[in-house]
Amino acid sequence: MSTARQLLVAALAAATLAITAAPASPAGPDLSGYSWKAIYGTGELPLSNGNIFAIKSVGDDLYLGGDFTDFAGINAADRLVRWSSAAQAWQAIGSVGEGDGAITAGSVKAIEVSGSTIYIGGDFTVTDYLGSPRVNLAWYTLPDPTFTGYWDYAWRGFDGITTTDAIGNGSVNTIFADERDGALYVGGQFSNGFENPNADHLMVGTYFSCTTVVSTCSAPPPHVSVCGGVSITCSVPAPTSWVSASDNGSGGPALTSFVSSIVAHPDGGVLVSGNFGGAGGVTGANSVAHLAGPFASPAWIAQSGVPSVTMYPTDALDTALYVAGWEGAYQRTTGTTWSEICASTLHVPGATWTGIAAASSTLVFVGGSLGLFACNPTTGGATQVLDAGPVYSLAMHNGDLIATGGIGVGGLGDAGNYVARYSADLPPTNRDADRSTNITLLLIALAALTGLAGVQIRRAA
């Protein structure tokens, strides 16, 4: 072989080795098919004039809560609004005469819908059906969000023993209706909820309802959903009785500090996140704990693998559980064991993650003070999606990621004020771009070396 050919072969081998042997970063999620789009019904103009803290997806409808007023130009859409897929329009929920909104101050931080009942929590004031102000926790019947002709379809509060507001000395951060056992969980930063000295930061309401109860079923609802061909629909109407989530083992409150989020646990009961330590007096039940149920024994179950720092959002997808908070995000691996996900990207000193939404087992969105990232828990790789300001909350809705944050979410200008969606038609991912760059460099090297050696490369016939 000629010296020129030997040099060419050696150079090609070295170039190939340099390209293929470089240490590869963990593969991030495949984001092809995603791009930022304005929220439904937006056009080019902003719909919100204030922050959005709560997102709730219910079938094809979407609920938003925050401190905004007159959302989409609707006078009554103050601090709470619903996107009706059937009407293809934003709608206010309840009013207080003259078309103005019933929620008159503060902000909505939590939304839950069960059957025809909507629950909201936060640090707001709402005018009830008697014209009285109620604070922080309220409910409404939802036969028709535009129908306000009868007092039945108006906001109501919850009363303590002395008919004062059930949660009058703090904020409600999260509400979860567990239709499996008919419980309504209310968590936040409050004390003496429903005037119960042990109800600090968490209360559980019980009142179970099913539209059809068939006596011939082998088990009662909600353990069966169909009996004899008849569908059984269960919901959690406004509770008539409330209990604290056990105590600390010594007769005091079960929780020492606030609750951030509550989500269904696949083993029954709920997963609770927040800033507490030793929930229910259980060692290790810090920041994230499994509440098996208000009447279960033991009620609280500690989790391992999550540090004892403040945790904020939770999410569930099938049997998978996720949580995020101070300086990291975590996934339940099995039983009570958790592990950190995408640590090389998300474990950042001082970072606070306030939103998490799982689209699939290999695509989990995490947002917070550093923007928005897409994480692949399987590979540990993450891709930055948005770095323009903080993200407050995330939720999946019919394949779209709904993200809320500051002005101009998603880089959409006015159309992205405070809320946007991340969905179809994204350009090639960084991984694809890196691959294309490597191929281009290899072809350039081939051309240069081929010309240098005077060798002609022909395409095979």
pLDDT in tens, 244-287: 988 998 999 999 999 999 999 999 999 999 999 999 999 999 99
Helix (H) or strand (E) holding 231: strand 230-231
131 confidence band (pLDDT: 50, 70, 90): confident
Task: Assess contact for 175 and 183: CB atoms under 8 A.
Answer: no
- DSSP bridge pairs for 323: 314, 330
Question: CA-CA distance, 274 to 271, in Å (whole number)?
Answer: 10
User: Residue 334 to residues 204, 324, 328, 362: CA-CA distances in angstroms?
Assistant: 27, 17, 19, 17
Higher pLDDT, 314 or 87: 314
Task: Measure CA 400 to chain center.
Answer: 12
Given CA atoms 40, 139, 237, 259 in this order, what sign does their dihedral have?
Answer: positive
Length of the chain, in residues: 461
Token code pair at residue 447: 């051309």
Task: Assess contact for 27 and 82: CB atoms under 8 A.
Answer: no
Question: CA-CA distance, 240 to 392, in Å (whole number)?
Answer: 33
What is the pTM (predicted TM-score) of this model?
0.84
Look at residue 447 and tell me whether its pLDDT is greater than 80: no
Q: Provide the pLDDT for residue 163.
A: 76
> Three-state DSSP class for 408?
coil
> Three-state DSSP class for 450?
helix
Question: CA-CA distance, 83 to 109, in Å (whole number)?
Answer: 17
Residue 220 CB-half CA count within 13 A: 7
